[in-house]
Chain A
Amino acid sequence: MNAPVVAKALHHLTAAEASRLIAAKAISPVDLVKALLARIEAVEPRIASYITLDAEAALAAARRAEAEIAAGRWKGPMHGIPFAVKDNYDAAGLPTTAGSRLSEGWPRPDRDAALVARMKAAGAVLMGKLATWEFGTGNGGEYFDLPYPSARNPWHLDHFPGGSSSGAGTAVAAGTVTVALGSDTTGSVRLPAAATGVVGVKGTHGLLSKSGILANCYSMDIPGPLTWTVEDSALVMNAVAGHDPGDPTSLTGPVPDFRVGLKQGVAGLRIGVIRSFGPGMAPPDADLVAAFEAGLAVLADLGAVLIETDFPAPVADFYACTRIIGPVESATIHERELREMPDRMGFALRDKLMFGAQVRAVDYIAAQRRRRVLAAAMTAMMARFDAVVTFGAAHAAPRLGVEPGMTAFTTDTALVPFNISGHPSLVQCTGFNAAGLPLHWQIAAPHRADPTLLRVAAAYEAATPWRDRRPEP
């Protein structure tokens, strides 16, 4: 067997690649962290992916990992892999800013969020905290009024990198971190993935603990990984998934090996295809549609059985629920701040809370009831397939802060039905448009079929060239 060769810039290694090289002692975690720090120094002023960078702690952790691996105590594929988290996750000793002026003066947490702790326990190296919309939420617009610079799309700096995990997709695509963790209430992991051409996974609700992550909307928040490849998402899921008594919504029961299907292909899988968002929402752009159809041809060539299907109700109906539930639960969380210091909020958050605070209880209850009906209908639909392929957003990343494109990108999506239903879903890159911005689609699977979800995405990824191109911001 030949000695491993490092064929590309270390900052663009995937976690899986870096892990193999680390395990083979071809590179050390210290090399990797230093390469990322150099990359950060070079591009971060333009992309603003981080709110807090902890270079010293990262180097110290990398040195520990290096020593452990040298001593033969390799912990597994996350050992020595750099990661960063959206700045609504707690990390011991670092400020949790939530991207907000409201967090000024908060004591620094003395505990890691459950997922940060699990990543660290698996040997991963925390680089820092990533850019986010204020408290991971907003009204869909960008108003340049937050205390930290807006993250930029590394494929095109005038464009939006997706939100609310705005730094997470950017950092992974640009190579300022190897893997990232974000959170998704109505698309906040998958939209950044769509905008920046990375993989963003929202697993089965309850698989990943929310403990130590600031809430945006109790009944819909889900954390999830953003990575360059599907395999990397599987590695992160393997490191962090599992029951946590600290999260009352955490699932119990066995946790699968998320890598199990990665190389199994899709031959014989029954894959539902949903092309329509239904009435009340803008249809997807032509270039997304073309990439979608080409992607279906790839799956068909690989032997998948494609079956036309539909959402059980117009996507707009799902939106009607989340547009009540989201603002209400956010307003419950921030009610006191809204009353006492609304001037310290950005417009996007304040606008959302002003609405949420005025919703009547009966309308919230009606939305939750409708949600339950829609979720049951989704489960019935999903049960007929191994996986479902549909669109994510209806557009590619818009120009940052320019309406109506900004709000259209965040609200014309088919992401929300899977937040309503809790089914696992992911977004991945399906090519690039004329402006060089990533295109994408969305894959979903039945409850707890996360390995199948990743299996389909991995087969598509292996059969297409989209992972060969990196942005150079």
Chain B
Amino acid sequence: MTAVTPVTSADPLVYLTVSEASRLIAARKLSPVELVEAYLARIDAIDDVVHSYITVLADRARAAARIAEAEVLAGRWKGPLHGIPFAVKDNYHVKGVKTTGGSRLMLDYVADETSTAIEKLEAAGAILLGKLNTWEYGTGTGEIYHDLPFPLARNPWNPARHTGGSSTGAGVAVAAGTAMFALGSDTGGSVRLPAAATGVYGMKATYGLMSRAGCLPNCWSLDVVGPLTWTAEDNATVAQVMAGYDPRDPQSADVPSYDLMAGFDMGLKGLTIGVVRDLGADAPSMDPDIVTKLAETEVLLSELGATVVEIALPAPLSKYRSVTGTINWAESLSIHEQDFMERSHLMGKALKDKMTSGFTVRAVDYVAATRYRRQLAVTTDAVIRTVDAVLAPCTFITAPTFEDQERLVKFTFGSATSIFNVTGHPAISIPTGFDRDGMPTSAQIVGRYFDEATTYRVARALEKAAGTRGLRPAL
């Protein structure tokens, strides 16, 4: 596999992790102003290639950076996100700023509210750089038709390749250094797939842990928001701020707050990790390099002291997929029905195809799917509760080229991500290395409900042992 350290034009500041930058800011060795300028310069330099952004909020970010700098200098350091630049998928609302949803239907829409996630992060001192690229309304069929109003985001590891969707700009921004961390949203994998495509960490927390208030919905009953970061530690740090009950989101879980980094550095001794190897006879085939990396990860778990046991999910992947298909098509159409009837010529083909599918779903099939979802959630949870955490495949192939429509669909829908949207368990996509083409490989670590802490602990132990974080894309 690739051993060459790529040449990069990047200012080293943009490749700091959140925790590294945070320590420097707290120690007043780095100013938030300096950091934000480095990112804005990086965006200027390379976003014409990777197109991670739809909207850059340079003035807003500079103003926030000056305030953060003053606060830190005045001794009012707010914590690990103070002065940290981030960006959000363009389905998060920011009051007074356009939310396009990546759609021609919303090109002129200015939000009149700010999403809870952004409110919380800004209250913690983080600095919003802008709005990131996305598939139209965070949804699609997996196919790419080059028919959306903004240029296609491109993979920094190889711009001829897919970025993962639907949070197409989020993984790119973190990997390429156009944001220190990013927020995406995940209905069937839209945080974890971009993370997998670009070699970063993407967390889909327990359904209900993080408020979705102020974000455009794709499918209420499956949507989850989540952070994409360069390291496991960064991810837990951001997730901790995003977590918590919010009455503005009717599905928000009213649970006591808990420490997402409990046991973070305790290693794996004493943990039992279940491994899901078989996703059913009708599951898509897995590329050999992905298989190899999963096997290596299993071995690593054992070497780190975990007890590794094979577990079997109660149903093949195809059953989970059938549930998310029916529910997602129907709920998405329910959101966009009027636009579909009146202005479908403004929709991209991927969204339009999905709307058409939604039109054919009968109510009894939707109800049957929601009932089956509950049954799958209960039976899957019974399996997950037999172990401390689970190692499962994420994508079955690495990011394909934009020319390969068949593999584009396979990357999105031939993955194991949607299983945990159906069940609601926390699942984090972790990088496991690179394939023979130098593209990132991935796996998922899955936890019990509201036990993100153990998934982070496992991700952290693997990250330390594998040492893959030093390599950045050659841009």
Contacts and interface: CB of A to CB of B under 8 A. Distances in A.
Interface in B189-230: none
A362 B362 contact: no
A345 to B, nearest CB: 16
Contacts of A17: none
A358 B362 CA distance: 7
A361 B362 contact: yes
Of listed B358, B359, B364, B365, residue having the most chain A CB within 10 A:
B364
Interface stretch (B121-129, B253-261, B330-338): B330-338
Interface in B314-371: 326, 329-331, 333-334, 337, 358-359, 361-368, 371
Contact of B366 (A335, A357, A358, A365): A365
Contact of A364 (B337, B367, B371): B367
B190 to A, nearest CB: 21
Contacts of A361: 326, 329-330, 333-334, 358, 361-363, 365-366
B354 to A, nearest CB: 13
Contacts of A362: 330, 333-334, 337, 358-359, 361
A362 B331 CA distance: 7
Contacts of B361: 360-362
A317 interface: no
B93 to A, nearest CB: 20
14 contacts: A324-B363, A328-B363, A332-B367, A356-B364, A359-B364, A361-B330, A361-B358, A361-B366, A362-B330, A364-B363, A364-B367, A366-B334, A366-B337, A369-B334
Nearest to A334: B364
A328 B331 contact: no
B330 A365 contact: yes
A332 B326 CA distance: 15
Interface string A350-386: 0000001111111111100100100000000000000
| SS of B interface (majority) | helix
B353 to A, nearest CB: 16
Interface string A34-46: 0000000000000
B362 A357 contact: yes
Given A332-B367, A361-B329, 15 more contacts: A328-B364, A328-B367, A332-B371, A358-B362, A360-B359, A360-B361, A361-B333, A361-B334, A362-B333, A362-B334, A362-B358, A362-B361, A365-B334, A366-B334, A369-B334
Interface of A: 324, 328-329, 331-332, 335, 356-366, 369, 372
Nearest to B330: A361
A366 B361 CA distance: 14
- List the 3 closest A-B pairs by CB distance, nearest first: A364-B363, A361-B330, A361-B366
Contacts of A356: 363-364
Contact of B362 (A360, A369, A372): A360
Contacts of B367: 328-329, 332, 364
A261 to B, nearest CB: 30
Interface string B113-135: 00000000000000000000000
A329 B363 CA distance: 8
A108 to B, nearest CB: 26
Of listed B334, B363, B367, residue having the most chain A CB within 10 A:
B363
B364 A363 contact: no
Given A361-B358, A362-B337, A335 B331 contact: no
Nearest to B221: A365
Interface of B: 250, 326, 329-331, 333-334, 337, 358-359, 361-368, 371
A332 B334 contact: no
A331 B364 contact: yes
A363 B367 CA distance: 12
Nearest to B336: A362
Nearest to A365: B334
Of listed B326, B329, B334, residue having the most chain A CB within 10 A:
B334
A358 B326 CA distance: 16
Of listed A328, A329, A362, A365, residue having the most chain B CB within 10 A:
A362
A332 B330 contact: no
A306 B171 CA distance: 61
A361 B357 CA distance: 11
A335 B371 CA distance: 14
A356 B364 CA distance: 8
Nearest to A364: B363
Contacts of B362: 357-361
B199 to A, nearest CB: 37
Contacts of A324: 363
A150 to B, nearest CB: 29
Contacts of B359: 360, 362
A364 B365 CA distance: 11
B352 to A, nearest CB: 15
Contacts of A331: 363-364
A358 B365 CA distance: 10
Given A361-B358, A362-B359, A335 B334 contact: no
A364 B368 CA distance: 12
A360 B363 contact: yes
A248 B334 CA distance: 27
A218 B359 CA distance: 24
A356 B365 CA distance: 11
A324 B365 CA distance: 14
B368 A332 contact: yes
Contacts of A357: 362, 364
Nearest to A367: B363
A329 B367 CA distance: 7
A328 B329 CA distance: 18
Contacts of B368: 332, 335
Nearest to B340: A362
Contacts of B358: 361-362
Of listed A357, A360, A364, A372, residue having the most chain B CB within 10 A:
A360
Contacts of B329: 361
A365 B368 CA distance: 13
Contacts of A364: 363, 366-367
Nearest to B366: A361
A359 B363 CA distance: 5
Contacts of A360: 359, 361-363
Contacts of B250: 372
Nearest to A372: B250
A365 B371 contact: no
Contact of B364 (A335, A365, A366, A369): A335
A383 to B, nearest CB: 16
B256 to A, nearest CB: 16
A332 B331 contact: no
Nearest to A356: B364
Of listed B250, B333, B358, B367, residue having the most chain A CB within 10 A:
B367
Contacts of B331: 365
Contacts of A366: 334, 337
A369 B358 CA distance: 17
Contacts of A335: 364, 368
A319 B437 CA distance: 60
Nearest to A357: B364
A365 B362 CA distance: 11
A335 B329 CA distance: 21
B364 A332 contact: yes
A363 B362 CA distance: 9
Contacts of B363: 324, 328, 331-332, 356, 359-361, 363-364
A335 B334 CA distance: 23
Contacts of B334: 361-362, 365-366, 369
Contacts of A332: 363-364, 367-368, 371
Contacts of B330: 361-362, 365
Nearest to B368: A332
A441 to B, nearest CB: 33
Contacts of A363: 363
Contacts of B337: 362, 366
B51 to A, nearest CB: 33
Nearest to B332: A362
B361 to A, nearest CB: 4
A103 B365 CA distance: 24
